[in-house]
């Protein structure tokens, strides 16, 4: 077994050929299982490219993290709390195994942040060190995105050193690297009119997103024995952070259950915005991911604990959807809400239980 293969190949580019020679001349005819492991998914998949030494000599296997439903089952949590736990842990088994069955997010974080050696605290830095041992600019860009910057100009502004912003070419190259490594995901407005230039960046992995938003900067507090201050920092902005972090999870769930909701034609679920970010529409379901022929539904996400989706939220959605290219009178409305609808909100709703069912066998 060879672990962290991408890092080894960066340190020694001849290693791939050496392994191929050893396999062909000594190991292929023997009862030997050679396992090559790496967290850089893009690089691991390239090992089987026809131009590479290991082409057709192995099987590429992707081991994904636990799904939200698997997290809920493992931790004994109801649907809404299971989704919260997924946003914090990213479904990483090493972190989930430290979560006691039925434990709340607050209780789990209180225990994990008080232990400087907990998987919750150390996994993020280990992951970053393995992925980007020599890419300082990429890590800096990643930190800016993790702290809430979503646009190219916003990221560049956040990384300014005094009055001197980061070079445009350097930022573009760093973003390309992060995209290639699948650490950063890129979203564009989904509608009948392509808008590829209106890109928004986000951290692809939920745990890494949580780590960069709170834990990376909070480690000195933990080391000084003041994990309580870090926990308060999380609690103060938890609702706002969770409301944004849950959006890609909800979009993936809706894409999975679209046929059950009556939209078998839906092939893409995203959001829509203009350059002024006014309006923003949380959910757009379309018949294809680029320039859609049909917009089947638009919707709004209200992931608050106490406030149900009401007629004011409905009115805001109706106003916003009118700006989405491709919306017509047949386009339906949907609310994804943690706390349900008020009786005067005239649209269909999807709750935590239905979302979690998207990952059920």
Burial class from Cβ neighbours inside 10 Å (0-12, 13-18, 19+) for residue 59 reads: exposed
Q: How far is CA 359 from CA 61, 91, 137, 193, 278, in A?
A: 20, 13, 36, 31, 33
Residues 61-111 have pLDDT tens digits of 778 899 999 999 999 999 999 999 999 999 999 999 999 999 999 999 999
Q: How many CA atoms lie within 13 A of 129 on its CB side?
A: 6
| Cβ-based neighbour number of residue 67 at 10 Å | 19
Whole-number pLDDT of residue 132:
74
Residues 125 and 224 in one domain: yes
How far is the C-alpha of 195 from the C-alpha of 233, rounded, in Å? 36
From 197, 230, 245, the end of a domain falls on 245
Residues 214 and 133 in one domain: yes
How far is the C-alpha of 277 from the C-alpha of 242, rounded, in Å? 20
From 204, 222, 245, the end of a domain falls on 245
How far is the C-alpha of 90 from the C-alpha of 213, rounded, in Å? 14
**H-only helix segments in 189-301:** 206-210, 216-223, 227-245, 247-257
- Which H/E stretch holds residue 79? helix 79-89
Whole-number pLDDT of residue 322:
95
Residues 41 and 96 in one domain: no
Residues 149-174 have pLDDT tens digits of 999 989 988 877 555 677 888 899 88
Mean pLDDT along residues 251-268 = 97
Check which CATH number belongs to the domain holding 103 and give it.
1.10.10.10
The tally of domains found in the chain comes to: 3
Query: Which residue would you say has higher pLDDT here, 331 or 32?
Result: 331
């Amino acid at each position: 077994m060879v672990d962290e293969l991408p890092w080894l190949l960066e340190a020694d580019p001849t290693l791939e050929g050496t392994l191929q020679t050893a396999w062909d001349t000594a190991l292929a005819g023997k009862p030997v299982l050679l396992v090559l492991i790496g967290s850089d998914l893009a690089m691991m998949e390239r090992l089987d490219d026809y131009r590479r030494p290991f082409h057709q000599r192995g099987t590429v296997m992707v081991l994904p993290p636990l799904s939200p439903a698997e997290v809920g089952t493992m931790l004994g949590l109801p649907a809404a709390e299971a989704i919260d736990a997924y946003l914090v842990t990213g479904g990483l088994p090493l972190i989930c195994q430290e979560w006691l069955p039925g434990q709340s997010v607050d209780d789990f974080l209180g225990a994990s942040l008080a232990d400087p050696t907990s998987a919750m605290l150390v996994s993020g830095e280990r992951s970053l060190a393995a992925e980007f041992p020599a890419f300082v600019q990429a890590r800096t860009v990643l930190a800016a995105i993790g702290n809430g910057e979503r646009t190219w100009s916003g990221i560049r502004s956040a990384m300014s050193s005094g009055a001197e912003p980061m070079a445009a070419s350097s930022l573009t190259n760093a973003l390309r690297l992060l995209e290639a490594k699948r650490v950063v995901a890129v979203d564009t407005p989904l509608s009948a009119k392509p808008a590829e230039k209106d890109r928004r960046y986000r951290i692809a992995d939920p745990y890494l997103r949580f780590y960069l938003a709170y834990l990376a900067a909070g480690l000195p507090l933990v080391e000084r024995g003041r994990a309580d201050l870090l926990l308060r920092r999380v609690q103060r902005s938890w609702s706002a952070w969770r409301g944004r972090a849950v959006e890609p999870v909800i979009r993936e769930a809706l894409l999975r259950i679209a046929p059950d909701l009556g939209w078998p034609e839906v092939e893409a679920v995203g959001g829509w915005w203009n350059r002024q970010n006014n309006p923003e529409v949380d959910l757009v379901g379309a018949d294809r991911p680029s320039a859609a022929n049909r917009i089947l539904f638009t919707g709004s996400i209200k992931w608050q604990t106490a406030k149900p989706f009401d007629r004011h939220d409905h009115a805001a959605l109706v106003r916003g959807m009118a700006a989405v290219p491709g919306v017509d009178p047949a386009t339906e409305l949907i609310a994804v809400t943690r706390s349900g609808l008020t009786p005067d909100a005239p649209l269909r709703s999807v709750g935590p239980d239905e979302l979690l069912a998207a990952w059920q066998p």
